[in-house]
Chain A
Amino acid sequence: MSAVVDAAPPSAKPATDGRDARTAWLLTAPALMLFVGVLVIPLAMTVMLSFHDWGQYKGIEPVFILKNWHEVATDPYFAEMFWRTFRIALLTTLITAVLGAPEAYILNRMSGRWKSFFLLVILGPLLISVVARTLGWALLFGGSNGLVNKLLMSLGLIGSPLPFMFTETGIVIALAHVMMPFMVLSVWAALQRVDPQIENAALSLGAGPFTIIRRIVLPQIMPGVLSGAIIVFSLSASAFATPAIIGGRRLKVAATLAYDEFLNTLNWPLGAAVAVLLLVALVLIVVGSNALIERRYAEVFR
């Protein structure tokens, strides 16, 4: 959210008279009404829904009980599912950071035309439907004689085919591919603020390439890596299409479980509890890590 406040003007008049405030509210009124009517109220209703009762034959009963929350808190099935969700999100974040940051650095050192060409190649997938991209991985994994397994075996890296479909490994690989553009873009943005002369100065003072990466480049792009990590983590933890297609019906994460409860089991109150818990957990994680990063890197962001 700090992005808004930063983007918001120093140019705005410091002291505002009543007329200006009235104009401002008038201008924002349509959007505000839309958001209160179609976002705030539905979200509040969803929170309420998570306290309602549900039965196979009686449907949803508008009472206030803690049944769903009790079930989510005590049934180990939900604990396992949430661990899986966050484990997948964390691994995906690590992979995108470890591979995406160096790639952004390499891209940034390319010469003009190649730079924009490869930037387009890497960011372009962002505009192609997640369903199509995940389908591609499903085809590459495709059973025991999928291309990925054939390649790994011909390289001698593995002796026998690894299962990718319907496994967490498969979900993480496909999800890392889907999320990679966000990380590259974030590190790329951080790199644009780095003065290349600092590297040259370090070089001229006798620093080796690894010292330069470790002492000069990494500290400067770290804010970009971290903000990229927050984006990737929160999008991965709530991802739906990739876990649904690669994970199949058995390997559930929070989003696919909520989908099942709503559209297959029809236990809306339980699904709402899962969704609200996911939202609260993500908001806490994102706001918490944002605050940590901003405090740690206050001078870089200024």
Chain B
Amino acid sequence: MRTNGPLALTFHTIFVVIMLAPILVVCLVAFTPEGYLSLPTHSFSLRWFRAIANYPEFVHAFWVSLGLGALSSLVAVLFAVPAALAIARYSFRGRDTLAALFLSPLMIPHVVLGIAFLRFFTAIGIGGSFAGLLVAHVVVVFPFALRLTLAAATGMDRSIEMAAVSLGAGDWTLFRRVTLPLILPGVISGWALAFIQSFDDLTMTVFLATPGTETLPVRMFLYIQDNIDPLVTSVSASVIAITMTALILLDRFYGLDRVLAGKNDPGR
């Protein structure tokens, strides 16, 4: 196979620099000793990282995001596993429609979802509550949990199940001891992707969050709307650092390509 020429490598270098530039500049500005936005030229300072502690809204929002992400992705997986098994195994009337419905949150713009949820929750009287936010996130991240579980359930070897049944395993034992372990890698990828989606969502959440239930992206967005100062860069830099650490850990123990493969969705 032919290798890349100098022209290709120059293009590649510029491309990578541009991809990284905005992220690097956020991290650099976070270390500024000045009171305004500037690149640190003489010395690095941690004052804006310390300043996060004096602004508890960010810390609180981080915990809301973490809890919301963990809970909504878990609930989504609990709903998605039986649904994926049914769609993968049985051909029944309405299966394609059902699958299309379950994947539809990928095609609906998040701004529309945010509006629909806001309208609905206000009408039934749970507007601004954490419960509403949770249900909304479950629906939005459900397709990610479903797709990866579906892929695992479709690709799995059913002869092992048949062997278990012929050896007298009951339905529940079959699921717990045979089926679930076999589809578990897909379920975990689905859960991880669902978590990431929930943790990063701004557009839908911004319609539903109230001061007590603001997630980190929402808090950051609202903060930027009022003023851009180094505090929001140090918060961003912290989030980037946490994300990177999580990514490296995920890559070490699980393989990042397996998780990211689910991000490519032609239907979206």
Interface residues of A (CB under 8 A from B): 1-5, 7-9, 11-14, 16, 20-21, 23-28, 30-32, 34-35, 38-43, 45-46, 49, 99, 102-103, 106-107, 109-110, 116, 118-140, 142, 147, 174, 177, 180-182, 185-186, 189, 196, 199-200, 203, 227, 230-231, 234-235, 237-241, 244-245, 254-255, 258-259, 262-263, 268, 271-272, 275-276, 278-279, 282-283, 286
Whether the Cβ atoms of B268 and A234 lie closer than 8 Å is yes
Whether the Cβ atoms of A271 and B90 lie closer than 8 Å is no
- Cα distance, A267 to B266, chains bound together (Å): 35
Whether the Cβ atoms of A132 and B102 lie closer than 8 Å is no
Contacts of B23 in A (CB 8 A): 125, 128, 132-133, 136
Whether the Cβ atoms of A271 and B236 lie closer than 8 Å is no
B163 at the interface (CB under 8 A from A): no
A185-B263, A235-B268, A262-B207 as given contacts; A135 in contact with B26, CB under 8 Å: yes
Which among A102, A106, A123, A286 is the interface contact of B107 at CB below 8 angstroms?
Answer: A286
Contacts of A235 in B (CB 8 A): 268
A21-B90, A28-B98, A131-B202 as given contacts; A41 in contact with B120, CB under 8 Å: yes
Whether the Cβ atoms of B200 and A275 lie closer than 8 Å is no
Which among A116, A133, A136, A186 is the interface contact of B257 at CB below 8 angstroms?
Answer: A116
Instruction: Give the size of the chain B interface in residues (CB under 8 angstroms).
Output: 99
CB distance from A100 to the nearest CB of B (A): 9
Contact with A along B70-104 (1 / 0, CB 8 A): 00000000011011011111111101101111111
Contact with A along B90-128 (1 / 0, CB 8 A): 111101101111111101111110011111100100000
A31-B83, A139-B233 as given contacts; A9 in contact with B19, CB under 8 Å: no
Contacts of A14 in B (CB 8 A): 91
Whether the Cβ atoms of A130 and B200 lie closer than 8 Å is yes
Majority SS of interface residues in chain B? Answer: helix
Whether the Cβ atoms of A11 and B158 lie closer than 8 Å is yes
Whether the Cβ atoms of B90 and A129 lie closer than 8 Å is no
A-B contact pairs, 5 of them (CB 8 A): A24-B92, A109-B4, A124-B247, A125-B23, A254-B111
Contacts of B3 in A (CB 8 A): 109
- Cα distance, A199 to B86, chains bound together (Å): 43
Whether the Cβ atoms of B224 and A24 lie closer than 8 Å is no
- Cα distance, A267 to B104, chains bound together (Å): 27
Interface residues of B (CB under 8 A from A): 1-4, 8-9, 11-12, 15-16, 18-26, 29, 37, 79-80, 82-83, 85-93, 95-96, 98-105, 107-112, 115-120, 123, 135-136, 138-139, 142, 146-147, 150-151, 154, 158, 196, 200, 202-203, 206-207, 216-217, 220-221, 224-225, 228, 232-233, 236, 239-240, 243-244, 247, 251, 256-257, 260, 263-268
Contacts of B87 in A (CB 8 A): 4, 8, 24, 28
Contacts of B139 in A (CB 8 A): 34-35, 38-39
Which among A39, A203, A272 is the interface contact of B104 at CB below 8 angstroms?
Answer: A39
Whether the Cβ atoms of A21 and B93 lie closer than 8 Å is yes
CB distance from B104 to the nearest CB of A (A): 7
Whether the Cβ atoms of A13 and B102 lie closer than 8 Å is no
Which among B26, B92, B119, B239 is the interface contact of A272 at CB below 8 angstroms?
Answer: B119
Whether the Cβ atoms of B25 and A45 lie closer than 8 Å is no
CB distance from B194 to the nearest CB of A (A): 13
- Cα distance, A142 to B151, chains bound together (Å): 45
Whether the Cβ atoms of B109 and A238 lie closer than 8 Å is yes
Whether the Cβ atoms of B107 and A28 lie closer than 8 Å is no
A135-B228, A135-B233 as given contacts; A140 in contact with B22, CB under 8 Å: yes
- Cα distance, A174 to B225, chains bound together (Å): 17
Q: Which residue of A lies closest to B21 (CB)?
A: A140
- Cα distance, A3 to B96, chains bound together (Å): 11
Whether the Cβ atoms of B203 and A30 lie closer than 8 Å is no
Which among A8, A110, A118 is the interface contact of B88 at CB below 8 angstroms?
Answer: A8
Which among A103, A139, A196, A262 is the interface contact of B11 at CB below 8 angstroms?
Answer: A103
Whether the Cβ atoms of A45 and B86 lie closer than 8 Å is no
CB distance from A242 to the nearest CB of B (A): 10
Contacts of A119 in B (CB 8 A): 257
